[in-house]
Amino acid sequence: MWQYTLKRLLQGVITVWFIATATFLAMHSVPGDPISGERAATEAIRANLAARYGLDKPLGEQYVIYIGNFLKGDFGISFTQQNRQVNDIIREHFPVSATLGILAVLFAALGGVLWGALTAIYRNRLPDTIIMFLVILGISVPSFVFAALGQLALVNINNFFGVSILPVAGWGTVSHMIVPALVLGMGTMAYLTRLMRSSMLEIIHSDYVRTAKAKGLPAERIFLKHQLRNAILPVVTVLGPAIAAITTGGFVVELVFAIPGLGRYFVQAVQQLDYTVIMGTTVFYGSFLVFMVILVDLLYGWIDPRVRVQ
Amino acid sequence: MSAPLLEVQNLHVEFDTYGGTVRAVRGVDFKVEAGRTLAIVGESGCGKSVTVQAMMGLIPMPPGRIMQGSAKLRGVEILGRKTIEGREVRGAEIGMIFQDPMSSLNPTMTIGDQIAEPLIVHRGYSRSKAWARALELLKLVRIPEAEKRAKQYPFEFSGGMLQRAMIAMAISCKPTVLIADEPTTALDVTIQAQILDLLKDLQNETGMALILITHDLGVVARMADDVAVMYAGQIVESGSVDDVFYRSSHPYTLGLKLAMPNNDPGRHDTLQPIEGSPPDLFSPPVGCAYAARCPHSMRVCEARSPEQFDVAPRHYSRCWLHHAQSPHRADGLFLGGGNE
Amino acid sequence: MSDLSSSSSVTLSADDFAPLPHRDDIHGINRPSRSYWQDAWRRLKSNRRALFSLWLIIGLLAFALIGPFLWQVDPSRQDIDQISQAPGADRSAEIVPEYTAWDGSVQPGFESDATGLRIGADANSQSVRLIWDAVPGANALRLYRNIFPIDGELAFGLPIAEFTSVEAGFYEDRLDLRPDTYYYTLVSLDQDMNLSAQYQELAVDVRRVITLDEVRERELVAPDVELALGDEVKLSFHPFGTDYLGRDILARLMSGARVSLFIGIVAPFLFVLLGVAYGSTAGFIGGKVDQVMMRIADFVVALPFLLFMILFQVVFGIGPGESGILPMLVALILLSWPATARLVRGQILQIRQEAYVSASRLLGAKNYYLVLRHMIPNTLGVILVTLTFAVPSAIFTEAFLSFIGMGVAPPTASWGSMSNEGLATMLTHPHELIFPAIFISLTVLAFNLLGDGLRDALDSRMRSLE
């Protein structure tokens, strides 16, 4: 298991290096130099940047400087905001995105497992039909539509009751987080519900559940000890991609709900073509996702003895 | 002759499928006595597994349905009931083991926990007491290094070892009946013999009745006291192992025997397969289900389903050839002659 | 069955015991044999949801391809009389004279005894003319306009004018008037020009009017129709309403459908093709080449997909005069092929092991024959299913990028960019967001259902337990 962990971490480091390099190359294949373009920053920033990144030097040297800075954990400074460090931006805004993301992942995973198990047990009966209809909708509706509809619903609910039940936008208190997290997790929850349902159906008809019944175990015990644990395994394997989907989905949810997270900042930087912020946040997000996937793999190894023991 | 420990009467089971309703079991009767072994023999899809699973309440309903019939343990109805006389039927009164031990055990639970589980649930043992008993059971089924093995998961066991663990689990609550549904089909031949010996020994020690479901006549000859031959959802012939084997009185039994390899050095005849395939149980034939494949079929066989005839005391056959008016009745083909 | 005696309950005749002739039809159940594709098509046809989705897709394609010929409205033409018009809204307008300046005098018929803020003339989309009496005690006055009633939080809306005189006055509002209800407030300001608690409120219903010249200019009626002041004309018809620039939403949905469906169908088709070529080459050659090729694919898989889509759009995206469709297509293909390549390689490796391939090889089959005759047909089902499921994700990607402003460039419409624009006016004119959102969802739904159906029909191993 330790060897496996180490191997996965090493793979992760190589992947992050690859992401950093690909980002660097992508950014430097912009025709002309990004700073002297028409969207150029002020003279002061330009001088600062040129000195910092050695923009007059050949590409190879720039790459070495870039990787060096990256290894030191320095993502550079903003193009559009003078003297603003990308590190500071990440430090300030990422916790907000992370809080929202964790809530959404929790909501999606718990909801997916719960609804999936429920629909499998009530297969082809009313609860199954209703939930699976909603799931098909959930898979087909883009995250920004959920976000917009969520906000629209909030406005109407607040108007209907004449008081603000939950805030429509912004960040700060728990009440600000509820609806954005629900909205953000919705699509992933629908996907996980579907996965959990088919996994659960397979297990309901498995030989070992029949054995458990032949042993005369009560239904609750069969459900908890024999069905649920095994049915969750495939759900855990897709948590990595699910976290990635929720992270990028966070961009639009933060935008719609005016949440000061890194996602919204990233989208704004993209719209303003703030190259260093884009590069920094891309590499940061990329590394984050790579290590989340590794974390999920390790978690899977921990709950599946077949992986753990070997 | 003791009273039957378990008696099944007129059991009918159906399944709803997309293609229509399958009449998988169509009026099955059998009895098992304590300490004896009944083998239910038949080819794939004849309903032998469905019969015992229906009795154990293991058939998913829907799509399955028990139409009628009864199953009595010591005279008490168990169909549709979870407990009788305060004891759980499944797992405590009747233990069961299955064909494929690899898929029949929970892959994410240790062997020890799975064996201890019925003890905790049915006997109210503490976890440590149940675990200690699980180790004893593992030793009883001759698994070496029981302490270490109990902590392992199914994927770390071989097929034969897993089947031993399954047996340990099934007998943990000292059942009065043990059902073994093709227990050796998925195993190597050498392992098969070991598992069968183990079952025999355990039966001798505990005096439990054994219902052995198999399609292997060799296993039947080795293990069974009584035999029931199933075809297309019905028992076509039943009796003691000697009666059924040496005085076969149903053409299907005879066909099975002729299709079986024999290592008798004096015999040189080729194997004779039974031609054709079993009838479609979506719409079972009106008459005898075997009529289409039977070399002795008569007009009545297509028109009427055969009744159960007494061939000899405790030896029954469902074949019109045994009808009092049948002209072929005494031709000796089935009654003790013609084979072996 | 209880009677276990050989004396039967039935009496039979000798005829009953006559032997039956041997039958030849005992060898199993005879069912007509069908080819794999015939069988798959039959299964797909019996799947009502898949069939429904197939019709839905045909309908959407017709909407994109044939629609613009039936509804010939320029998607970028602005109808400035109808901005953010909801579908089914009143389109009538009364013809009025040309605008003339106002001197503050009350129009006949609008004299009233009421005091405070009131209208001094007919309120229409040409102008709203407000008059008020002196406000004693105030230092100055500020006039606000809102589209919502003034609630307890005293959100007055848009400040449109400020007056240093607190005497009776008048103001003419001509700012972007729509046929709607406006809530004007005249708020007294204190010494420091801060809002005081004293204000007067007036709700004004604005009527739509149009001048004769405008009617002629916009060709709302045939040139030979005589019109007079006071007549009513109908403005142009927009079945799905208009957006915030007065563009016809139906026409934009149709042209947006072309963009969204183009990216949604062409990109998956191309990257699946690339993936099949790559994966089958790697799988077929095997060995070192396979190792290297798959390692490259692994690296591309490791890239966070949407982040790199964004990055790509930033780098190669929308230049001057471009629609941004081509860079998106290229980026989608570059980032998406490895999944298919992996899948196809796995299938090829599996099929290579099969006995029928060895048999074919033994009989002297050449490599290209093996690939064409055995490998491709046996992976086609899996490839088709992959392709169907790739469509919704490509449509999602396009919509996502356009939504955050990194997709197609204005004025090109796509469903994603329309949703993006609709978001701004979501609270007042939800139809601008809802229509494109419905189209995205319907398309994705249709392809998802079709994918499920195809998977069930083509491959029992991949069949989901539904």
Residues of B near A (CB-CB distance < 8 A)?
A: 56-58, 60, 82, 88-92, 95-96, 98, 100, 103-109, 117-118, 121-122, 153, 155-156, 166, 169-170
Q: Which of A55-59, C74-78, C308-312 has the lowest mean pLDDT?
A: A55-59
* Mean pLDDT for the stretch of residues C305-312: 82
pLDDT of the residue at C463: 43
Question: Omega before B63 cis (within 30°)?
Answer: yes
pLDDT of residue C343: 87
Reported confidence tier of residue A56, pLDDT bands at 50, 70, 90 = low
Close Cβ partners of C372 (under 8 Å, ≥ 6 residues apart):
none
Average pLDDT on C286-294 reads 87
Higher pLDDT, B146 or C85: B146
Q: What is the mean pLDDT of residues A266-284?
A: 82
The CA-based dihedral angle spanning residues A239, A241, A243, A245, taken in that order and rounded to the nearest 10 degrees: -140
What pLDDT sits at residue B254? 83
Partner residue facing B104 (CB), from A211, A218, A225: A211
Which chain C residue shows the shortest CA-CA distance from B280? C29
Place of tokens 């003319």: C129
Q: Would you state the pLDDT for residue C3?
A: 40
Residue C461 has pLDDT above 60, yes or no: no
Cα dist from B181 to A211, A214, A227, B158, C128, whole Å? 12, 12, 23, 19, 90
* ω into C223 cis (within 30 of 0): no
Give the confidence band of B241 by pLDDT, cuts at 50, 70, 90. confident
Contact status of B325 with chain C (Cβ, < 8 Å): yes
User: Which secondary-structure segment (H or E) carries B29?
Assistant: strand B20-32
Q: What integer pLDDT is reported at residue B227 of this predicted model?
A: 92
Element (H, E) at A88: helix A86-121
Average pLDDT score over residue span B73-93: 80
Average of per-residue pLDDT across A93-115? 91
Segment among A70-84, B122-136, C269-283 with least mean pLDDT: A70-84
Query: HSE on the CB side for B35, CA within 13 Å?
Result: 6
User: pTM for the full model?
Assistant: 0.80
Residue C59 pLDDT? 92
Average pLDDT over residues C357-368: 85
The model's pLDDT over A59-85, given as tens digits with 9 standing for 90+, comes to: 788 788 888 888 887 777 776 666 678
Query: Is the CB of A306 less than 8 angstroms away from the CB of B105?
Result: no
Question: With 90 as the cut, is the pLDDT of residue A111 above it?
Answer: yes
Averaged pLDDT, A285-296: 86
Binning pLDDT at 50, 70 and 90, where does residue A212 land?
very high
ipTM of the shown complex? 0.84
Residue B328 pLDDT level (bands cut at 50, 70, 90) = low
Please provide the average confidence, as pLDDT, over all residues in chain C: 79
Chains touching C, CB cut-off 8 Å, 3+ pairs: A, B
Q: How far apart are the C-alpha atoms of C398 and C401, rounded to whole Å?
A: 5
pLDDT 10s digits, B264-298: 666 566 777 787 777 777 877 888 888 878 877 77
- Distance of residue A207 Cα from the nearest chain B Cα, in angstroms: 5
Query: Which residues 44-83 in chain A show a CB within 8 A of chain C?
Result: none
Contact A145 C441 (CB under 8 A): yes
Element (H, E) at B35: none
Question: Is it the case that residue A41 has pLDDT exceeding 60?
Answer: no
Mean pLDDT on C129-140? 82
CA distance, residue A46 to nearest chain C CA (Å): 19
| Positive/negative CA dihedral, C151, C155, C157, C162 | positive
Which has the higher per-residue pLDDT, B190 or B328?
A: B190
Give the angle subtended at the CA of B216 by the CAs of B213 and B218, to the nearest 5°: 115
pLDDT score of A4: 81
Contact of A210 with B104, CB cutoff 8 Å? yes
Is the pLDDT score of C228 beyond 90?
Answer: no
Whether pLDDT at B223 is above 80 = yes
